[in-house]
């Protein structure tokens, strides 16, 4: 029990350190997924930061205050890396943080401009600590999860089904459109289309597989969802390839210099 509390306190302490240094952050990744009901198992705190080049000193100070040490490539925190979409990975060595792993980025692929994401955030007071934390909104989390990794797509499917399940019978139009754009299980999508048919018809040009859902073609919808995922994963792979190759070169360089 103590370990559980300690780890949550560590998250709160990092949030406090960033806030004390005027660095805005959104919790994304596995912890955000868990807050929305996902089954994500993670020991990392993934943060998207609102940082520009002149703010780097404040960020360095905040990270120093929790004794965050870089544990992977890129081997140092530089604006150039953050600006290009790299994640920088830390372990917090401060005794009260119990080795919390902290990953930070400012412009991860798939992210909308920070100000937009901030305006949509979910803010909650963390239990037992009184610390205010800001979680990425579900639509933004879904955008961030559209990666080359299959696991991320399974997470999107679950999170969307949970969101749909939690919705009522009279729903904001934007909420319905979000479901119609992003639901990823055939059964749920077909039901959603049947319940909110007018909106579904309007979005068919944008997401053609809704046409199959209108016909309640389960196999067709399932196949089209697979194809949608395949294309998006391939696009992410292509988009990420230069960075992945560069990370690989960084690892080689780091090994040679050890």
Partner 1 sequence: MTHRSIPEAHRPAAADASSSHDDIVVAAFPSSIDLADLYGEEVAAIAAMSFEDRWALAGEMAQAVASLAALRDAR
Least gap, CB of 90 to partner 1 (angstroms): 15
Q: Does 35 bind partner 1 (CB under 8 A)?
A: yes
Q: Does 162 bind partner 1 (CB under 8 A)?
A: yes
Select from 17-25, 70-78, 145-153, 155-163 the region that touches partner 1 (CB under 8 A): 155-163
Q: Is the omega angle on the peptide bond into residue 74 within 30 degrees of 0, that is, cis?
A: yes
Among 53, 120, 149, 173, binds partner 1 (CB under 8 A): 173
Q: Which is nearer to partner 1, 171 or 247 (CB)?
A: 171
Select from 82-90, 138-146, 170-178, 230-238 the region that touches partner 1 (CB under 8 A): 170-178
Q: Does 169 bind partner 1 (CB under 8 A)?
A: yes
Q: Is 42 helix (H, G, I), strand (E, B) or coil?
A: coil
Q: Which of positions 52-91 make contact with partner 1 (CB under 8 A)?
A: none
CA torsion angle 104 107 111 117 (round to 10):
80
> What are the C-alpha distances in Å from 178 to residues 48, 174, 195, 228?
23, 6, 14, 16
176 HSE (CA, 13 A, CB side): 19
164 HSE (CA, 13 A, CB side): 26
Q: Does 18 bind partner 1 (CB under 8 A)?
A: no
193 HSE (CA, 13 A, CB side): 28
Q: Which is nearer to partner 1, 4 or 255 (CB)?
A: 4
> What are the C-alpha distances in Å from 137 to residues 10, 83, 255?
22, 22, 39
Chain residues binding partner 1 by CB under 8 A are 3-8, 31, 34-35, 37, 39-43, 98-99, 124, 126-127, 158, 161-162, 164-167, 169-174, 176, 185, 187-188, 190-191, 193-201, 214-216, 218
């Amino acid at each position: 029990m103590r370990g559980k509390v300690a780890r949550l306190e560590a998250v709160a302490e990092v949030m406090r350190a960033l806030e004390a240094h005027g660095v805005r952050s959104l919790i994304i990744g596995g912890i955000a997924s868990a807050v929305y009901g996902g089954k994500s198992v993670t020991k990392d705190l993934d943060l998207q930061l609102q940082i520009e080049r002149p703010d780097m000193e404040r960020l360095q100070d905040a990270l120093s205050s929790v004794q965050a040490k870089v544990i992977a490539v890129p081997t140092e925190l530089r604006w150039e890396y953050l600006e290009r979409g790299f994640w920088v990975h830390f372990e917090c060595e401060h005794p009260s943080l119990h080795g919390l792993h902290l990953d930070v980025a400012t412009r991860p692929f798939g992210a909308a401009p920070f100000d937009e994401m901030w305006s949509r955030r979910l803010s909650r007071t963390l239990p037992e600590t009184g610390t205010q934390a800001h979680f990425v909104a579900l639509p933004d989390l879904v955008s961030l999860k559209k990666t080359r990794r299959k696991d991320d797509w399974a997470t999107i499917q679950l999170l969307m089904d949970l969101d749909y399940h939690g919705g009522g019978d009279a729903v904001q139009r934007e909420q319905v459109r979000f479901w119609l754009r992003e639901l990823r299980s055939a059964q749920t999508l077909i039901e959603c289309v049947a319940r909110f048919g007018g909106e579904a018809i309007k979005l068919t040009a944008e997401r053609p597989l809704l046409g199959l859902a209108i016909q309640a073609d389960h196999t067709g919808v399932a196949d089209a969802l697979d194809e949608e995922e395949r294309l998006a994963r391939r696009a992410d792979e292509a988009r990420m390839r230069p960075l992945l190759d560069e990370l690989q070169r960084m690892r080689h360089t780091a090994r040679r210099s050890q």
